[in-house]
Amino acid sequence: MERSLGTDDAVSEAIEKYADMVRRICFLYLRNYADVEDVFQDVFLKYFLNEQSLESEDHRKAWLCRVTFNKCKDMCRSFWRSRVVSIEEMDIPVEDPVQGEFIKEILKLPAGYREVIYLHYYEGRTVPEIAEIMEKNINTVYTWLRRARDELKMKVGDNYL
Amino acid sequence: MNLFTNYMDSIRAEDALKTDTKINVNSILADGGRHADAPQNPKKFKARRAALAISAMAACAVLSVAGYAFYNTPVNYVSLDINPSVELGVNAFDNIVSAEGYNEDGESILKDNSVRNLSVEDAIAVLIQKANEQGFILSDGSTVIAVTAESDDENEASDLQDASQNGVALALEKCSASAIVYADCSSLELRTEAKQLGVSPGKYKLIAALQALDPSITVEQYKNSKITDIVADAGEYLSSASDVDDGEDQAEDSTDKIKQAAQKIKAAKENAEKNKNGGQSENETSDASESTEQSDNSDTQSAEQAMNQIREKDTNKSHDTANPVKAQKQSEKQTQEQTEEQAQEQTQEQTEEQAQEQAQEQAQEQAQEQIQEQMKEQAQEQTQEQTEEQAQEQTQEQSEEQTQEEAQEQTQKQNPDKSDDAASEKSGGAAGEKNKS
């Protein structure tokens, strides 16, 4: 069978476009570089296999977010992972210690909460969009956002929010 | 949130990462991408998960099989012999895991009776009751029940012995029966020998003891005998050859027990006879001789026991140099044995005393009867005398009457006319004559 957009250039292009976003999401969930590599491969492979059904740019981004997020969750949840601690754990390179603290606190949030924070504050998505991406109820997203903010406030103070 | 966004901004996909991903994706797509849709990782994870789950189940299965096998493996054995011979397999938890009858009678008390999983004590209690129901335990208490613990570990052997003895005692109490208990232990080696000959190990040990006393005895001879008979025969040999006491030390212990058991058999049988016949003088004298015999034996027994204790301590030094617990146990056992013997002696004495009292009472009764008879005789004599006297009186009276009658007749003859006057004259004349002179 022939793929529709299978040229090396198309592959290259897509990866260039979306790699950063995928990388950021991976950062939120994975601590192991090998895992990141795995996720990248899976995500982009899937992307090229399903490309046809993705029409708009917006749609593609949303789709990639969802797939990456799910892949990361699977990774974390795997039986293998919970048994094995990788030798190479990634550090979080940070210049400002305060910032470092804040980031760490975000990373301590439950998985879904991190996602909504990222999508809302970094990607600038609206709640309904987030709900679609994560395949969750809109009210759920509202609740998660609220709770996440409350927890961060508790731990870091009001200034940074 | 600026902190957050700023930081996120600084995160970029590494070049190497991008390049590698490009290469990999391209190669996979080139190989017929559609089939590679399901990436390998989830499969890997699922496969791993499945593999772990299966190995966990397999491990559980193996452990449970091993555990089951271990539970069911006999570590030691206990053999119970009366006339029925039964061998019970005991596992590491002191529960019964196998039961084998060594002769028909043994199988008959095992039939319809599951002793599996019972403790040693309970299993033996059940089997003794069954044996009693089927009539293997005689009511005169002379039956010997042999319980033999077979183990290569001395502690376990003595524990099993005690537990078995308790089981027997419980059962006898329950059925209100009495019997003589012979408890011993043997090694597993002996057990293998016994099995080869087709005899139960407990019986085998006793037959071996018999053979030590009389080498001409074969196992075949006694294979099917009652334990009671084997012990009684052994007792015969021992009492006739009592100077074999300086034999081997281990044999000492068993021979001692056999002697005691044999004596108890004798006592029980004689008690039974006594109760049958009641206080005849023969039994009185035999009682008297027995009581002196037994008091002698008790002295020798205590002396022997003291010697045995000393000897045992010597032998045990080789096994366990510093084992006060074991020594204590043994001395406890011995004191228990002593008190049991004493109790038995006392009961024997009591029964003898009762027999004697009965005899005395009967003698007294007889004496009384004799006295009564004598009195009766005397009374009879007296009455005879009285009647004789009366008879004599009567004859005297009769004769007096006769003489008077004769006298009257004479006077009548002499004075036929003047019968009355003459009589009166005569009497008057006589009277007058008398007056004149």
Q: Do B28 and A45 touch (CB under 8 A)?
A: yes
Confidence label for B292 from pLDDT (cuts 50, 70 and 90): very low
Chain A residue with the nearest C-alpha to that of B22: A12
Which pLDDT score is estimated for B324? 57
- Which residues from chain B sit within 8 angstroms of residue A40, using beta carbons? 13, 17, 20-21
Question: Assign residue B153 a region: left if phi > 0, alpha if psi is -120 to 50, beta otherwise?
Answer: beta
Chain B neighbors of A23, CB-CB under 8 A:
11-14, 17
Percent pLDDT > 70 in chain B is 75
Please state, in angstroms and rounded to a whole number, the distance separating the CA atoms of residues B55 and B65: 15
Q: What is the per-residue burial (b if ≥16 Cβ within 10 Å, else e) of A97-125?
A: eebeebbebbeebeebbbbbbbbbbbbeb
Q: Per-residue pLDDT tens for B124-140?
A: 888 888 888 888 888 88
- Taking the C-alpha atoms of residue A118 and residue A21, their distance in angstroms, rounded to an integer, is 10
> What would the pLDDT profile of A111-152 be if each residue is shown by its tens digit?
889 999 999 999 999 999 999 999 999 999 999 999 998 888
Sheet containing strand B96-101, strands side by side: B96-101, B85-90, B76-81, B144-150, B180-186
Out of B71-80, B84-93, B212-221, B275-284, pick the least confident.
B275-284
- The answer to which of B55-59, B230-234, B327-331, B422-426 has the lowest mean pLDDT is B422-426
Q: Select the residue from B41, B48, B49 to test the A interface by mutation, using most A Cβ atoms within 10 A.
A: B41
The whole-angstrom distance between A132's CA and the closest CA on chain B is 22
The DSSP output letter for B147 is E
Q: Is the pLDDT assigned to residue B109 strictly greater than 80?
A: yes
| Whole-angstrom distance, CA of residue A88 vs CA of residue B122 | 63
- Radius of gyration for chain B, computed over Cα atoms and rounded to the nearest angstrom: 51
Enter the pTM of the model.
0.42
DSSP H or E segment with residue B327: helix B324-414
B322 part of contact set with chain A, CB < 8 Å: no
> What is the biggest distance separating any 2 CA atoms in chain A, rounded to whole angstroms?
57
Residue B421 has pLDDT above 70, yes or no: no
Tokens of A87: 């030798």
Query: What residue in B sits closest to A45 (Cα-Cα)?
Result: B25
Q: Which helix (H) or strand (E) holds A46?
A: helix A33-49
Q: Which tens digit of pLDDT belongs to each residue from B359-387?
A: 788 878 887 888 888 888 887 887 788 77
* B377 three-class SS: helix
Closest alpha carbon within chain A to B16: A37
A102 contacts on B by Cβ (under 8 Å): 3-4, 7
Cβ within 8 Å of residue B210, ≥6 positions away: B217, B222, B230, B233, B234, B237
In chain A, the residue whose alpha carbon lies closest to the alpha carbon of B44 is: A80
Confidence at residue A142, expressed as pLDDT on a 0 to 100 scale: 93
Q: Do A160 and B22 touch (CB under 8 A)?
A: no
Give the pLDDT of residue B353: 79
pLDDT at B325: 60
User: For chain A, what is the radius of gyration of the CA atoms?
Assistant: 17
14-33 in chain B: CB under 8 A from chain A: 14, 17-18, 20-22, 24-26, 28-29, 32-33
Closest partner residue to A121 (CB to CB) among B5, B17, B34 is B5
Tokens of B369: 């009867």
Mean pLDDT of chain B: 76
Could you give the angle at the alpha carbon of B199 between the alpha carbons of B198 and B200, nearest 5°? 130
How many C-beta atoms lie closer than 10 Å to residue B183's C-beta?
21
Could you tell me whether strands B85-90 and B96-101 are parallel, antiparallel, or unpaired per DSSP bridges?
Answer: antiparallel
Nearest alpha carbon to residue B252 among B296, B310, B190, B324: B310
Which of B46-50, B239-243, B251-255 has the largest mean confidence?
Answer: B46-50
**Nearest-angstrom CA–CA distance, B224 and B78:** 19
Higher pLDDT, B229 or B337: B229
> What residues contact residue B180 under an 8 Å CB cut-off, 6+ apart?
B141, B142, B143, B144, B145, B228, B231, B261, B264, B265, B268
Q: CB B41 to CB A38 under 8 A? A: yes
Give the burial class of B272: count Cβ atoms within 10 A of its Cβ; 0-12 exposed, 13-18 middle, 19 or more buried: middle
Long-range contacts, stretch B413-420, CB < 8 angstroms, 24+ apart: none
> How do beta strands B85-90 and B180-186 pair?
unpaired
pLDDT digits (tens, 9 = 90+) for B185-196: 888 888 888 888
Q: How many CB atoms lie within 10 A of CB B59?
A: 10
Query: Inter-chain contact A11–B7, Cβ cutoff 8 Å?
Result: no
Query: From B21, which residue of chain A is nearest by alpha-carbon distance?
Result: A41
Q: Mind listing the pLDDT tens digit for each residue in B142-163?
A: 888 888 888 888 888 888 888 8
Is A98 in Cβ contact with B45 (below 8 Å)?
Answer: no
For the cut 60, the answer to whether the pLDDT of residue B339 exceeds it is yes
Find chain A residues with C-beta within 8 A of B17's C-beta: 19, 23, 36-37, 40
Q: Considering only CB atoms, which chain A residues are within 8 Å of B18?
A: 15-16, 19
- The yes-or-no verdict on residue A68 having pLDDT over 90 is yes
Contact yes or no for B117/B234 (Cβ under 8 A): no
What lies within 8 Å, CB to CB, of A98 at 6+ separation is: B3
Q: Quote the crossing angle between the two packed helices B249-277 and B324-414, to the nearest 10°.
A: 20
B39 in A contact zone (CB under 8 Å): yes
Out of A40, A48, A161, closest to residue B29 by CB: A48
How large is the ipTM?
Answer: 0.82
| Higher per-residue pLDDT: B432 or A35 | A35
Share of chain A above pLDDT 70, in %: 83
Band of the pLDDT at B247, cuts 50, 70, 90? very low
**Contact residues, chain A to chain B, C-beta under 8 Å:** 1, 3, 6, 8, 11-12, 15-16, 19-20, 22-24, 27, 36-38, 40-42, 44-46, 48-49, 74-75, 78-80, 94, 96, 98-99, 102-103, 106, 117-118, 121-122, 160-161
Share of chain B above pLDDT 90, in %: 4
DSSP state of A90: P
B24, B37, B45 member nearest A78 (Cβ) = B45
Question: Mean pLDDT across the stretch B87-111?
Answer: 88
- Token output for B253: 């212990």
